[in-house]
Amino acid sequence: MEALKRTDPELYEIIEREERYQRSSIRLIPSENYTSQAVLEASGSVLQNKYSEGYAGKRYYEGQRYIDRVERLAVTRAEELFGAEHANVQPYSGSPANFAVYCALLEPGDTILGMALAHGGHLTHGSDVSMTGRFWNPVRYGVRKETGRIDMDEVRQIARAHRPKMLVAGASAYPRELDFAAFGEIAHEVGAHFLADISHIAGLVVAGVHPSPLPHADVVMTTTHKTLRGPRGAMILCGADLAAAIDKAVFPGLQGGPHNHTTAAIAVALKEAASEEFREYGRQTVRNAQALAQHLLEHGYDLVSGGTDNHLLLIDLTNRGILGKKAAKALDRAGIICNANAVPFDPRPAFSPSGIRLGTPSVTSRGMKEAEMQQIAAWMNRVLQDVENEDLQKAISAEVREFCRAFPAPGLAE
């Protein structure tokens, strides 16, 4: 970044510090990851200079001969990797992608049945604080208090009672496997479209460690970062029968020109995801999450649903008498990055919840395995036993920095 260093040394320094921070800390936020150097290079390429309203072969501007090839490459790779008839790789992110699906298939005021935000769902699945909860009529399912798991019989009862036009399966803080086949049966029974939001688990689906929503879902949406290890973007997958409606909702419905540099980076990530190396990465991500969960259980922590089937876990700190926000900040000072998160039936407000959310995509990308999860759990336990002890946090942070040296972060200069 020599040009940036000369042109804007202030911004250069901020980015350089963030790079050091990412390199020297243990990043356990499940929605974050490291991309490869190849993905970073594509994302920062001259494709940034192009404006390309429309789709490949049907652009409103001339000069698209190479852009069309880039987009077709990304589309073909997405369709082949997930086994979809059609892929749209233009959505800027997951939230507008979900919005595009609703706009394509619903009328204003139609009922959406999605997972409650407080139980692990996502804002765009009909939360009151999201536009999806204002433009459409949200109905919600959640998890059982006794198990922390979705009860599919209850989902079916709610669907029969409310007859939604859209059933959404997907989550941002649910540590268990989603039964896409059962969701599909319920959706089709009540005449609803079925949207599977696999933003968190797309890489696990590719790796074969989580069932695929295809062919059960009418539409599949995924972000392209998280476990897929691509740039910040999104894709919508669907059958040929819905392709025209989905494409029209994305452009010109909600967006103008696509971000071509992101499309190129998505193409790179999809090529990487088609490899056996990536599939092993997905398998190891789950093994690491389950190992981390086991060691935390041994330290006496209360895990929502008792463990995990995927890349994330949720700790309820109520029995420790620690607020989630305080715990997350203490761990951050110790070089271990997670986020405060509500737990199901949490009596506390969203900005000061009772839990913390952890995930293993980033540490797995660095080559850490089960033995390292034991060490991470031990550090976390030391911090959470004495959250006010900043001297302890500083000492652990130094240990973490030294520990991270043995596990180079992909895409980051040493």
pLDDT in tens, 263-312: 999 999 999 999 999 999 999 999 999 999 999 999 999 999 999 999 99
pLDDT at 350: 87
Q: Are strands 302-303 and 111-115 parallel, antiparallel or unpaired?
A: unpaired
pTM for the predicted model, two decimal places: 0.96
Give, for 396, the enclosing helix (H) or strand (E).
helix 390-404
Q: Active-site residue 223, yes or no?
A: yes
- Of 16, 19, 32, 53, catalytic: 53
Q: Active-site residue 132, yes or no?
A: no
- Of 51, 151, 271, 333, catalytic: 51
CB-count exposure of residue 202 (10 Å: 0-12, 13-18, 19+) = buried
- 90: nearest Cα among 131, 60, 56: 56
- Of 197, 247, 272, 372, catalytic: 197
Strand partners, 87: 237
Q: Active-site residue 179, yes or no?
A: no
- Of 232, 283, 329, 382, catalytic: 232
Task: Give the Cα-Cα-Cα angle 37, 38, 39 (nearest 5 degrees).
Answer: 90
pLDDT at 414: 59
Domains in the chain with CATH codes: 40-273 (3.40.640.10), 284-404 (3.90.1150.10)
Give the C-alpha separation, 188 to 185, whole Å. 5
Judged by DSSP in three states, 27 sits in: strand
Stretches where the chain sits below pLDDT 70 are: 413-414
Q: Active-site residue 197, yes or no?
A: yes
310-325 pLDDT, tens digit each: 999 999 999 999 999 9
- Of 226, 229, 357, 366, catalytic: 226
pLDDT at 144: 97
Give the C-alpha separation, 346 to 362, whole Å. 27
- Of 124, 222, 223, 263, catalytic: 223
Strand partners, 325: none
Q: Say if residues 154 and 160 touch (Cβ distance below 8 Å).
A: no
pLDDT at 413: 65
Q: Say if residues 111 and 139 touch (Cβ distance below 8 Å).
A: yes
pLDDT at 123: 93
Q: Say if residues 238 and 249 touch (Cβ distance below 8 Å).
A: no
